[in-house]
Copies of this chain bind each other. A is one copy, B any other.
Amino acid sequence: MPAMMAKKRIRVAIVGCGTVGGATADLCIRDRALIARRSGVDVEIAAIVGGDFKHARELGLPEDLLTTDLDSVLNDGTIDLVVETVGGIDFPRSLITRALDAGKHVVTANKALLAHHGEELFAHARRQGLSIGFEASCGGGIPLVRAITDGLIANEIEAIYGIVNGTSNYILTEMIQKGETYPEALAKAQSTGLAESDPSMDVQGTDSAHKIAILSALAFGIKVDFEIIPVIGIDTLDSLDVAYGQDLGYVVKLLAVAHRDEEGVSIWVRPAFISKEHPLAWVSGPFNAVSIYGHAVGHTLFYGRGAGGEPTSSAVASDIVSVGLGIIPAVFENTGYWPDRNDDVTQLAEGRSNSQFYMRIMAADKPGVLATIGSILAKERISIASLRQNEQALEEELIPLVITTHICPEAAINRAVREIEALPVTGETVVVMPIVDEHPERVG
């Protein structure tokens, strides 16, 4: 079926012409006939708005589509949809609001914006009878948003465990597989273009937090307060702990987690040890994967490239098509999981969840130290699962004591750690990481 025979047609302006905007324009223009044949929607790129068209010209995008005149594009009544790929928060927030006011649907890959202002923008779209596609905001090309809002719609979602930052996962993979230190692995990621020159959004966990905030809002129907999500990145990770974890049968991953219990939903991002039996432990290099547990479906996992122009353009283009078919508008109009529509579930404050934990305490090799630490843990009713005192050179003053616990309240661990850190016979910092085993399924 040639493009002109497609049943539906949608005219699209792409604002921003960087990695994602450029790749989206390229995919939609180059593969217009393919997309029309498969989807029944003829996607016509009507304008590419930017300030700098260096990348557009490298890609060979048509010159006559390139424009700096955003106002004309927003005033063009023949344009049905605006794709926002600018990045940042203030400008795209205002851009999306203006596009909605001008009667245009919106597709965006902007996770930072949606994590902070998704509720406001979704509500505005609905008031206008319009919709916002945001598949590309979480997990690049992996159809994750659709999994929650469509494929798993009949489930109560119980938990989400995600590896949603490819840069961090690449660095961790290098540290695990090649024994590199964090600075060595980061330098390699930067040299291959996987990490930016300022990698802080990725390695400090902020990017992962944006994504889990968006997925949690959809999955649990909660208003997520981004500011209270505890976020720890991989930038403080010591290769010593990576190695000890491996000895214990675990793999370290930067996990973005949201899980629900009777009290509410806990959301956090931090390096965690995951059992080698869990499929997330297999995810290596720049790939992303997200485990979603539903009350009927049990454990599902979605894997793919979480970043990069082409994979992300796959998600943006599927959203454009979906708006063209009326699917995303129908979902926006009817479904009830948008954060601005729910208020019956609470996001729990930090330290309210239960987990197994790994602790590395640097302690003096003296009689009584172990007894003191043991009594602090006992007072908090923390039960020890394993304990290792690893041999060290004699001249070292403090030696590492590695403890894993059975499941206990995070608050109890935090209290115990503060007390242990204050002891005269221990180092200033106790390393604490959650240990994640297979989440219990209700089915199967």
Contact = CB atoms under 8 A, between A and B. Distances in A.
B337 A38 contact: yes
A314 interface: yes
A50 B7 CA distance: 40
Given A37-B221, A41-B334, A296-B313, 6 more contacts: A7-B334, A23-B296, A35-B153, A153-B317, A311-B444, A325-B335
Given A279-B282, A334-B40, A156 B327 contact: no
A21 interface: no
A336 interface: yes
Given A8-B334, A153-B38, A298 B294 contact: no
A318 to B, nearest CB: 5
Q: Which of A37, A221, A341 has the most CB atoms of chain B within a 10 A radius of its CB?
A: A37
A198 to B, nearest CB: 23
A335 B39 contact: yes
Tier of interface size on chain A: 35 or more
A27 interface: yes
B308 A299 contact: no
Contacts of A153: 35, 38-39, 317-318, 321-322
A32 to B, nearest CB: 10
A263 interface: no
What is the predominant secondary structure among interface residues of chain A facing chain B?
Answer: mixed
A268 interface: no
Contact of A336 (B28, B38, B152, B295): B38
Contacts of A31: 154, 156, 295-296
A327 B314 CA distance: 20
B335 A155 contact: no
Contact of A304 (B143, B298, B333): B298
A305 B441 CA distance: 11
Interface string A18-60: 0000010001100100111111110000000000000000000
A65 interface: no
**Most chain B CB within a 10 A radius of its CB, from A23, A150, A286, A442:** A150
